[in-house]
Amino acid sequence: MIWSGFSVALCYITLLLCVFLMIVFNDPYGWKSYFQEELSSFFSICVCSLLLFAIVFYYYYIEDREFISKPKNVFLIFLNMVISVAFCYIFGRYIGIYIRPMAMFALICLFLFGRRQAIMLNFVFSLLMFTIDTYSNNFEASGATNAVYISLVLAFVCGTFAIFLAGNVKTRGGLLFTGVVLSVPTAVVLLLLELPEMNYEQFNWINYVAPGSYAILGCIISAVLALAMLPFYEALFNRLTVFRLRELTSANAPLLQRLRTEAPGTFNHSLIVAQLAESCAIAIGENAELARAAAYYHDVGKLKQPDCFTENQTGYNVHDELTPELSADIIRSHAKDGYDLLTAAHLPKAIADVAREHHGTLPIKYFYDKAMRLSGGDANIKDYSYLGPTPSSKIAAIIMIADASEASSRVLRDRSPENVERVVRSIIEERMDLDQFTDCNITMRELTVIKQTIVDALSGVHHHRVKYPAIRFNRAHEAVKEDLGEEDDAKS
């Protein structure tokens, strides 16, 4: 916590330095005059900014102490704030006060930290901009003008609308569209704010059209700048946004391409696990995009020796020639190998953690049983168990259950919902008995919801279909009897 306090102080000094430089170099009366006459204004900016920084720190101290205790997160919040202030200041100073990209900060916060934090941070940001406008000489020599007050309301309204409008946006194109839609409420609010100031006797359209056009442009620029800045924050702070998660699960993702070509069985298994994990995450209110991405990559460690895993074998089984100890060692190493591979490829830690934790410390039953038979009951269960750790997040727990459920349901002859339910229940109960969920805060109610979601989804995947008649049509459109034998059954 001391380091995060130190980080806040560092960011505060950086912000003041930026503001000072911007004000002094842009002061219409020259920097010498600012030093002589307006230094008290800068002191006011220092005090007000300090109060606003303290509000942000105190908010996180109460709401999410773990988050703010990491200096990296402090830097992310305040770096975003400093850069957004700089953009707004430059646009306001050189083009016009209404064209400032006031929604940019709110949009970036939404995708980096979520809706709740974005609303609070946008509120603070609007006040910070108002403070700088009021105590700088760039808009009016004697303090805030009407435009500065309107700008404060616009910043708050524009940012808040942006947060709600972009709440469900999942693509970069969608974010750009939000900027366009956002211009509608912004233009309406601006018009309402300008109404009391209208001079009907000397009415001049240009006085109202220009600010309106600027405000609309400001919304679009906000979306464009947010789009441009998000990859920078994603890369620099290894943050997860819905856009990055989408990119990681796209067909072009290098590790997924390797999985599809080198381990097709594992790739297909991962697709079904991803489907199950996404449904479960939605059902218990977790991040569905993250669950899907983590499921795609959970078995990526199998790339090291794909042929050693049943789903990629087409007849020859290498384990027939290996001792059970060696086989178990190969099997259990895929969790750690996956973690190493994902970390080396700079994938987000949340995804790498799932790869390492998705088998927890569970025993590898098949090889333990084989060792017991071969040694006459002299085998240590620890030598035939995964190395862990156990799931540390609800998403890791979901993937642990979905993974085992998918694999078990594949070999079921009777795939009725009742039988699938029996299998999934036994999987969850076994993991509870073996203390696999003690580190992930998952509740009994959530486990019940996960079980039901998986049963519904797997019953849908393996639903019963009518048996097709064994006929095919020839060129003359005549039905010809066809002997499909066992194949016919497999198609249905």
363 DSSP assignment: B
Output the smallest distance, CB 448 to Fe ion, in A. Answer: 23
The residue range among 125-133, 292-300, 373-381, 484-492 that interacts with Fe ion, by the rule CB under 5 A, is 292-300
The answer to whether residue 357 forms part of the interface with Fe ion (CB under 5 A) is: no
The residue range among 118-126, 216-224, 399-407, 421-429 that interacts with Fe ion, by the rule CB under 5 A, is 399-407
480 phi and psi angles, rounded to 5 deg: -120, 135
Which C-beta is closer to Fe ion: that of 234 or that of 403?
403
Which C-beta is closer to Fe ion: that of 34 or that of 339?
339
Output the smallest distance, CB 403 to Fe ion, in A. Answer: 4
Contact criterion met (CB below 8 Å) for 170 and 148: no
Residue for token digits 């941070």? 121
Per CB under 5 A, contacts with Fe ion among 136-195 are: none
**403, 428, 453, 459: which one contacts Fe ion (CB under 5 A)?**
403
Kindly state the number of chain residues that form the binding site for Fe ion, as judged by CB under 5 A: 2
CA distance 369 to 327: 12
Output the smallest distance, CB 335 to Fe ion, in A. Answer: 6
String of DSSP letters for 215-276: HHHHHHHHHHHHHHHHHHHHHHHT---HHHHHHHTSTT-HHHHHHHHH-HHHHHHHHHHHHH
Which C-beta is closer to Fe ion: that of 38 or that of 403?
403
CA distance 189 to 282: 36
Output the smallest distance, CB 299 to Fe ion, in A. Answer: 4
Please give the single-letter amino acid code of residue 109.
Answer: C
Q: What is the total residue count of the chain?
A: 492
The residue range among 250-258, 299-307, 418-426, 445-453 that interacts with Fe ion, by the rule CB under 5 A, is 299-307
**299, 337, 357, 446: which one contacts Fe ion (CB under 5 A)?**
299
The residue range among 67-75, 297-305, 322-330, 347-355 that interacts with Fe ion, by the rule CB under 5 A, is 297-305
The residue range among 33-41, 123-131, 256-264, 291-299 that interacts with Fe ion, by the rule CB under 5 A, is 291-299
Output the smallest distance, CB 405 to Fe ion, in A. Answer: 10
Residue for token digits 């979601």? 453
Which C-beta is closer to Fe ion: that of 133 or that of 403?
403
Output the smallest distance, CB 269 to Fe ion, in A. Answer: 6
Q: What angle do helix axes 205-237 and 172-194 make, rounded to 10 degrees?
A: 140
Per CB under 5 A, contacts with Fe ion among 84-123 are: none
Instruction: Find, among 426, 490, 410, 492, the residue nearest to 458 by Cα.
Output: 410
Output the smallest distance, CB 259 to Fe ion, in A. Answer: 11
Which C-beta is closer to Fe ion: that of 353 or that of 403?
403
The C-alpha angle with vertex 281 and arms to 159 and 63, in degrees rounded to 5, equals 50
471-473/479-481 β-pairing:
antiparallel
Output the smallest distance, CB 338 to Fe ion, in A. Answer: 8
Q: Report the chain's terminal Cα–Cα distance, integer Å.
A: 61
The residue range among 73-81, 159-167, 386-394, 400-408 that interacts with Fe ion, by the rule CB under 5 A, is 400-408
Instruction: Find, among 433, 268, 277, the residue nearest to 360 by Cα.
Output: 433
Which C-beta is closer to Fe ion: that of 91 or that of 339?
339
Contact criterion met (CB below 8 Å) for 163 and 118: yes
Q: How many CB atoms lie within 10 A of CB 290?
A: 22
Residues that bind Fe ion (CB under 5 A): 299, 403
